[in-house]
Structure 1
Amino acid sequence: MATRRGALALAAALAALIITPGGISAAHADPVKIRIGWSTMPGHLIPVLYSKPEILKYYGKSYTVEPIRFRGSSPQITAMAAGEIDMAAFGPLVLALAVTNARLDAKVVADIIQDGVGDYHSETFMVRADSGIGKVTDMKGKRVGTNAIGSASDTAMRAMFRKNNMQDKRDYTMVEVAFPNIPAMIDEKKIDLGTVLQPMSDQLLATGKYKVLFTSKDAMGPSQLVFLTANGKFLNDNRQALMDFFEDHVRAVRWFTDPKNHDEAVKIIANFMQQPPETLGYLFTKEDYFRDPFMVPNVKAIQESIDIAVDLGLAPRGIKVDPDYVDLSFVKEAQKRIEASQ
């Protein structure tokens, strides 16, 4: 009887471990799969951040990551609404549309890239040097290449045109073109102006055949160009695993942006992009976008960009980002953990 009583007690104890929250360590639970949308490399970094297992403490233990590529920020709204991704690389207008149109429970959780901060790079909008286009008003009757209507670069272009009293369809025509195809479209005169990303921006300028008509900073000042946005329910349902994920995420970004790792980091990205490393030497220098050292997004800049987008008529109404659509607890906890370990 004593043996039976002891067996029953052991069974009860094991059952308590199974049903009690936190009773089983994350190492013994199935890792949470995190599906993350992205659109641009090397800017977003998301597809390569988890390629250095030695700097990741929790990958494969409490979480795994599946990066999923999209043409731009706005197509990720549909994917998140359909439950196909858990996090997305959004621009400010896309966040507003996700909330007001798609009614998503979307939370800004981390920085990805910021534009025009201090001496750091600002997105370039280029024309052919022989186009006769020397100022924005020379774009009347011309064609403009945009990667996706409502994207961060699309909003910046429209803001610059608005500054010059120009409107879409009345004064110019917008044509959706994937980022990699924009330089060829400009060269073939199928569009007259478009967003050209690094490293192509510097490469085209070096030929003398192209020039920058304006930058995103000219249009909007320093801005939070792209940021990581998560489904609110997903955050709530997987909070502990996501605390681990964000610690690793921030550690990975800090490793890639550390000058002492520059050559190796560039090589990893070059291999992913199937480009020679020497074409990506600008990465993580002042010729690149600014990334916050602890991935804390500039919420004030997001709000300002949304306000501009509403003024441009790109969104039916605005939103108050803070506190309704932001959760910085994950990157703040990541910062505390990392600083405590140093």
Structure 2
Amino acid sequence: MATTASTRRQFLTLLGLSTLAAGCGTAASGATSAKGGTKTLRYQGWAGQVILPELAEDLGYLRDLKLEWVGNTISGPQDIQSAATGQVDFGGAFNGAVVKLAANKAPVKAVISYYGADKYAYNGFYVLTDSPIRGARDLIGKKIGMNTLGAHSEAMLDIYLQRGGLGRADVDKTERLVVPPVNTEQSLRQKQIDVAVLGGVLRDKALATGGIRPLFTDFDLLGAFSAGTYVMTDRFLEQNPATARTFVTAVGKAIEWSRSTPRDEVIARMTDIVKRRDRNEDPEPLKYWRSYGVAEPAGRVAGKELQLWIDWLAGRGDIRKEQVKLPDLYTNKFNATASASGSTSASTSGR
């Protein structure tokens, strides 16, 4: 586990280097064919989970495109940094991290939403049942374990503390620690941390075990919203437009398939994917899956969901508002599934 101050500095330094790194790395992003598009997309997965591109590939939506797994990540900011530097061809993160990366001149663009919060899919801040922590002020001086800093969980914590009446000095007294998601529940039960951020199948598995209770959730704070997007570099999109369109449209189809298919069938398919890919994972937690939580049809990116984090980052002093232009952050033009739905207003569309 890393301390808040040191890990935050490392995170901000990493993003501060993104301009140089992306400028050097994107040339290696995806080998293009003579017909104008790579047929292989390199990516990072998440242990024990089936991400939407993996589901899309298994459903046949990627057609002749192939995914090439290069390893797993536990951090959205790390994943999109890898995309910006050309180590992978797409990466996904909390929208605030996407804004932060773009503000530091990384040539990336959000192309589709892939996770969010709804009544089934949400991240919660959990404490032990007998914990004295009941409200925002009780978190002063307490240890909160989350998968990474400068991203979704830290943003939710800041909003909760602010709404609880804490000033900046008291907010800074909360100790945010980086804990791998697969170890977070255990760290809470062993009292190495006071609060654990849990989401998805790991959350539901912990709740089924018992002995913990929620302090708050991101759904409590903001209602239903898409929280993170997949990004690709501008260069990749320019060199591989057909590939990008196939990929984004396929992910959009997978989102809609997961919504319209009986939950047991979705879980069965995910379990089969995990077993077949042979990465030494436990598929058991997948039985708790309920939703990806994407708010917009087929993962269409809504400008308001990025503007929220422009305002948040600017309020924290992490960026200046003039560093980013909202229309430059995202595009929906590669998402044929969302275009076909026709249910999202023009006011939220990308350029």
For normalisation by structure 1, the TM-score amounts to 0.76
> 1:230 aligns to what SS in structure 2?
strand
Are 1:159 and 2:159 counterparts?
A: yes
Distance 1:123 1:170, change over 3 A: closer
2:93/2:228 contact within 8 Å kept: yes
CA deviation vs aligned residue, 1:245-290 (integer Å, no higher than 9, x gap): 333333334334432443532433553683355x4344345xx524
Matched letter for residue 51 of structure 1? D
- The whole-number CA distance in structure 2 between the counterparts of 1:248 and 1:204 is 32
Name the stretch that deviates more: 165-174 or 191-200. Answer: 165-174
Q: How many pairs align?
A: 301
Question: What is the SS of the residue equivalent to 1:50?
Answer: helix
**For residues 1-342 of structure 1, what are the structure 2 equivalents within 5 Å?**
31-39=38-46, 42=49, 44-52=51-59, 55-56=60-61, 58-59=63-64, 63-68=65-70, 69-101=72-104, 103-116=105-118, 119-164=119-164, 165=166, 167=168, 170-260=172-262, 261-269=265-273, 271=275, 274-276=281-283, 279-285=285-291, 289-290=293-294, 292-313=296-317, 315-318=318-321, 320=324, 322-331=326-335, 333-335=336-338
Deviation by residue 1:222-247 (Cα, 9 ceiling, x = unmatched): 33221111111110111123222333
Q: Which residue of 2 aligns with 1:7?
A: none
Deviation at 1:337, TM superposition (A): 6.9
* CA-based RMSD: 3.0
Report % sequence identity.
20
Q: Go from structure 1 to structure 2 and tell me whether the alpha carbon gap of 1:230 and 1:290 turns closer, same or farther (over 3 Å shift).
A: same
Separation in 1, partners of 2:201, 2:333: 34
Q: Secondary structure at the match of 1:330?
A: coil
CA deviations over 1:274-316 (Å, ceiling 9, x no partner): 3355x4344345xx52454422123212211331233234x22
Amino acid of the residue matched to residue 228 of structure 2?
A: V
The amino acid of 1:233's aligned partner reads: R
Unaligned ranges ≥5, structure 2 = 1-32, 343-351
Would you tell me which structure has more helix in proportion to its own residues? 2
Q: In structure 1, the residue corresponding to 2:299 is in which secondary structure?
A: coil
Task: State the partner residue of 1:10.
Answer: none
Deviation string for 1:121-174 (max 9, x for gaps)?
321110111221111211111111121111212211122122231547742111
Q: Which amino acid aligns with 1:58?
A: R
Segment of structure 1 superposing worse, 31-40 or 173-182: 31-40
Q: Is the 8 A contact 1:50 1:56 kept in 2?
A: yes
Larger radius of gyration: 1
CA–CA separation in structure 1 for the residues paired with 2:328 and 2:171: 35
**Is the Cα contact below 8 Å between 1:162 and 1:312 reproduced in 2?**
no
TM-score computed with the length of structure 2 as normaliser = 0.75
